[in-house]
């Protein structure tokens, strides 16, 4: 059974990373990754009412489009690993549906602009949705599979 969805961005990312090649690969494996990288998410005016009360949260889940990922692949080799991994067992941008998800720290808000840190997206990334990160999102006793050896 096939479904089709059409999404329109609610905003756009302003990032110090201008292209995907600007993102240091070693940050993907580092425990603190992108925590110190600051940027902004500009929410389009027609969606600004949706920002009501967002200031009360410290972290946000950002769902975005990998707009420069190219063709989707079911197998790819992560930059810090020597084996092919399945798309659904990796964080590769080369996916059947080029959707990304990240968690950022909300540093402040100025009108329709969210000041964030923990940014791992490139300039101009289309933002599809934002959700508050809550205690419900933290899971105890997780297993991180093949990535565990890189997270130490």
- The residues that bridge with 34 in the sheet, in sequence order, are none
Instruction: Look at residue 27 and tell me whether its pLDDT is greater than 80.
Output: no
Question: Helix or strand or coil: residue 84?
Answer: coil
pLDDT tens profile 70-124: 888 899 888 778 899 888 888 888 888 899 999 999 999 999 999 999 998 999 9
**Closest by CA position to 16, among listed 41, 38, 35:** 38
CB-side exposure of 16: number of CA atoms within 13 Å?
13
Domains defined along the chain, listed by start? 11-135 (2.40.30.70)
**Closest by CA position to 126, among listed 38, 42, 25, 36:** 42
Phi/psi of residue 89, nearest 5 degrees: -115, 25
Instruction: Look at residue 24 and tell me whether its pLDDT is greater than 80.
Output: no
**For residue 12, what pLDDT is reported?**
98
pTM of the model: 0.87
Q: Over the range 83-92, which residues count as b (16 or more CB within 10 Å of their CB) and which as e?
A: eebebeebeb
Write out the DSSP string of 5-51. -----SEEEE-S--SGGGS-THHHHSTTTTTT-EEEEEEPGGGGGGG
pLDDT tens profile 8-20: 999 999 999 998 8
- Higher per-residue confidence, 49 vs 138: 49
Q: How many CB atoms lie within 10 A of CB 46?
A: 10
Whole-number percent of the chain with pLDDT over 70: 91
Between CA 111 and CA 133 the distance in angstroms is: 21
As a whole number, the mean pLDDT across the chain is: 88
CB distance 37 to 120 below 8 Å: yes
Between CA 77 and CA 83 the distance in angstroms is: 6
């Amino acid at each position: 059974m096939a479904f089709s969805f059409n999404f329109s961005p609610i905003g756009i990312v302003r990032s110090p990373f201008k292209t995907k090649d600007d993102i240091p690969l070693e940050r993907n494996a580092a425990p603190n990754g992108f925590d110190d990288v600051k940027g902004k998410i500009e929410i389009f005016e027609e969606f600004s009412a949706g920002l009501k009360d967002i200031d009360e949260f410290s972290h946000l889940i950002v769902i975005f489009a990998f707009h420069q990922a190219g063709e989707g692949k079911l197998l790819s080799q992560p930059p810090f690993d020597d084996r092919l991994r399945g798309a659904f067992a990796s964080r590769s941008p080369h996916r059947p549906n080029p959707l990304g998800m990240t968690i950022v720290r909300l540093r402040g808000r100025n009108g329709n602009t969210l000041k964030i840190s923990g940014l791992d997206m490139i300039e101009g990334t289309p933002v599809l949705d934002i959700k508050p990160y809550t205690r419900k999102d933290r899971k105890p006793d997780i297993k991180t599979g093949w990535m565990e050896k890189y997270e130490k």
